[in-house]
Structures are given as structure tokens and as C-alpha cells.
Structure 1
């Protein structure tokens, strides 16, 4: 009697089922990781923008341009779309710019929708919430 080599159909079906179960467990974790990673990336960009704003204030003693208009993202050579070179994930908005204050908000877009608004102000106070609004204070944070 000649012995055959290889796998039976049952063995192959078991392997496929195991791979399916592992994928069903791993995929949601992976997507949550990607969403959190994108949020951390935009937070770093917001910190960079805050640095540019502070630099302007140190040089000019105000967040207002010489023509009397408030500073905008385009004045800082920053796109309101983040990231600016690929699929948009956040819309950046610099608002309430006065001589001494400003508020920067990142609103989720595309695959990030539902992940909450991120806010940073001129004092370095920040907040993140999955709700519709968050209030920036000395005790709020991005965690």
C-alpha cells in the first residue's frame, strides 16, 4: 500500500477557520491603533503650529499682523487640511485670534470621524473629547 502525503480537506478547513478567527480579533485592534496614531500625529502638528504662533508673538509682541488682521494658518504656511499631502484626516481651524490669544481646533474628517475634536489654546492648555465640544482648561488634556 502506497502512503499518500499532504493535507486532508478537514485539516485545511481548520487552518482557514483559525486564520479567520485571528483576523476577526486582530483587525479591530489594528484599526483603533491607526485612529489613535493619526490623532497623535495631528496633536504633534498642532504643537508645531503653536510654536509658530509663539514665534510670531515674540517677534511682533502680538498675534495680529502688521495690517491689523489676525494671523491665519496660511500666514504660517500651514494647510487647514491635515495631512496636506495625502488623504485628509483632520480640518485645522485657528479661531478667536486676538493680540494675546488664540484657539486651534482639529476636527476629525474621513476615517477619523467620530474620534472627537482636539483643541489647543495660546496658554498650552489642551483638550480632546469624543463629544461635540470640549472646554480647554489647565486640568484638561489630550489623554
Structure 2
């Protein structure tokens, strides 16, 4: 794991944000979940400068979130695909998406919707759950800080 500015902090949020706390990084991960894997396709879809995209892709590969593979169609291109570690970001993206749907769109404003492929239904809201399965509110939790 590459050393980052928060590598020595005991806060998991700070360490995670060192890797994925950038707009372009999370949008690249979003696109990877959507099956976009080639540099040119990512660049066109995101509208990001090539140097910024190259930098973020390199950081995602170094962090073990993406890996490069030879193109599946046998061409000379390489593809950027999610690793098992990268796939663990799925709940993070769903939570961001659901917050964005609720808080960043007017009630009648159109937006994309993430649906369950089997049922075609939108996903249920993600909630932190207690051991008994009940939903937790922020006031129901606390952080045990390292001394």
C-alpha cells in the first residue's frame, strides 16, 4: 500500500479519502462499475483532461482498486478493471447515489436510477444496521478513538 498523507492517521475515513476522495477518482470507479474500461472511453464519457485521467488511473492501480488487462477483444488496447478491493466500493457508490438522488435533485427532475437486474426495481435505501438488523441513526453510534 503506497504511503499517503493520512497513512499514519488512525482514522479510516481519512485513509480512504486519500485514495478515493477526489471527484474524478470516484467517477472513474463509477464508470468501471458500468463496464467502461478503456482510457479513451473513460476520457470521452467523463470529459476529463487526459493528464488528469492518466494520473487518477495510475493511483487507482497503485491502490489496488483497478488493474490493467489486455483488451478482451484482442486489440492492442489495455483495459482498466475493478479488482476485488475495487468492487468493495460498490456500497459507497450506492450510498452516494442515493444521497444525491434525495438531496441534489428537485422532486420531478429526471435522473438515472440504479435498479436490480432481476426485478427491475430501484434498490432499497442503504442504511447502517445494528446487530439486530434495526436501522441506526448517527446518535446511535460513537467512534472509539485510538489513544
TM-score grouping bracket, smaller chain normalisation: under 0.3
Structure with larger RCO (C-alpha < 8 A, sep 6+): 2
Q: Whose Rg is larger?
A: 1
Q: Give TM-score, length-normalised by structure 2.
A: 0.24
Structure ranking higher in strand proportion: 1
Q: TM-score, normalised by structure 1?
A: 0.24
